[in-house]
Amino acid sequence: MKILVVGAGQMGAGIAQVCAGFGHAVRLNDVDAGRIAAGIAGITKLLDRDIEKGRRTAADKAAILDRIRPHASLTDDVADIELAIEAATENERIKLDLFRALDAALPPAAILASNTSSISITKIGAVTARPERVVGMHFMNPVPVMKLVEVIRGLATSDQTFTTVRDLALQLEKVPAEARDFPGFVANRILLPMINEAIFALYEGVASVEAIDTVMKLGMNHPMGPLTLADFIGLDTCLAIMDVLHDGLGDSKYRACPLLRQYVAAGWLGKKSGRGFYDYRAAKTNGAAVAATPAR
């Protein structure tokens, strides 16, 4: 398939890598050209690691990179695109504007998928002239590793669109799970309130960052503690999802913890900005991330 990936951050780069890895021709777009270059550099690093570990050959790497082309414009050279996968910042206005632009530029038969964590697929579809060809394709982070793709049907999404995207997920050796279009779908409806509660526990001084993560790792067998996971997801993305749950479901149990809001205001967005609940700048020098947030 010819696939346009919009947004070259941590998710877009991963989606581009996996699609190219399974033979698809990928064009990688971002508003920030620097992010496209950084995305491709990140993919190159991961492929090098695969070669070191004997999981891939240098020829595989060259073929995959050859299938990923930087694509600066959303409107030029898109007449042959069959599928767009949008993975831009989790912000409703940005996504609605992007889908309007994609709808105007891409051929009428193209499917427009969003990797949104929580924004309504129905609402995104409604700003296009092809809501039956708009669908949620929600990959997990890191995309090359995680098996799940949540496939979300908007109210108008056709069976054909759903089947095409589900079959693509299978071809990418992922496991698709179908969800209906309600705030947070399944994954984040359940995950984010848990993460938010962990932040409340920290905020209220119940325990330290390490203690909260240790309890959930060793007590509940989670592979990663909720505060580490929040840092990996990005605290801005976590806050955006909580706000969608709160607005869409109207229940105060979904209110974002003030500490999460404060961290985002400070630009402490987690691993991607170097600091969140843990300090990743220190990790660069001594090899381990240390808790940046003291217990109260």
Ligand X SMILES: NC(=O)c1ccc[n+]([C@@H]2O[C@H](COP(=O)([O-])OP(=O)(O)OC[C@H]3O[C@@H](n4cnc5c(N)ncnc54)[C@H](O)[C@@H]3O)[C@@H](O)[C@H]2O)c1
Binding footprint of ligand X on the chain (CB under 6 A):
6-12, 29-32, 35, 87-90, 94, 98, 115-117, 138-141, 233-234, 237, 272
Q: ∠ CA 285-288-291 to the nearest 5 degrees?
A: 110
Taking the complex as a whole, the smallest distance from the CB of residue 139 to ligand X amounts, in Å, to 6
Catalytic residue among 71, 138, 196, 273: 138
Distance of closest approach, residue 204 Cβ to ligand X, in angstroms = 26
Distance CA 151, CA 97 (A): 22
Concerning whether 188 is annotated as a catalytic residue, the answer is: yes
Q: Which of helix, strand or coil describes residue 4? A: strand
Q: How far is the CB of 71 from ligand X (least distance, A)?
A: 10
DSSP 278: E
Q: Give the shortest CB-135-to-ligand X separation in angstroms.
A: 14
Give whichever of 56 and 122 is closer to ligand X, judged by the CB atom: 122
Cβ-closest position to ligand X: 9
Least spacing, CB of residue 8 vs ligand X, in Å: 5
Query: Is 117 in the active site?
Result: yes
Please identify, using beta-carbon distances, which residue of 196 and 237 lies nearer to ligand X. Answer: 237
- In contact, 185 and 152? CB cutoff 8 Å: yes
Task: Determine the Cα–Cα distance for residues 51 and 13; give it in Å rounded to an integer.
Answer: 19
Q: Which is nearer to ligand X, 6 or 202 (CB)?
A: 6
Given the residues 29, 117, 120, 273, select the one marked as catalytic: 117
Q: For residues 195 and 292, which CB has a smaller minimum distance to ligand X in the complex?
A: 195
Instruction: Quote the crossing angle between the two packed helices 58-66 and 10-21, to the nearest 10°.
Output: 110
Instruction: Look up 150 and say whether it is catalytic.
Output: yes
Residue 270 gets the label, from left (phi > 0), alpha (psi -120 to 50) or beta, of: left
Asked if 138 is an active-site residue, the reply is: yes
Cis peptide before 223 (omega within 30 of 0): no
| Closer residue to ligand X, CB minimum distance, 56 or 83 | 83
Name 233's Cβ contacts closer than 8 Å, sequence gap at least 6: 141, 195, 270
Residue 165 · residue 151 · CB < 8 Å = yes
Catalytic residues, which ones?
Answer: 117, 138, 150, 188
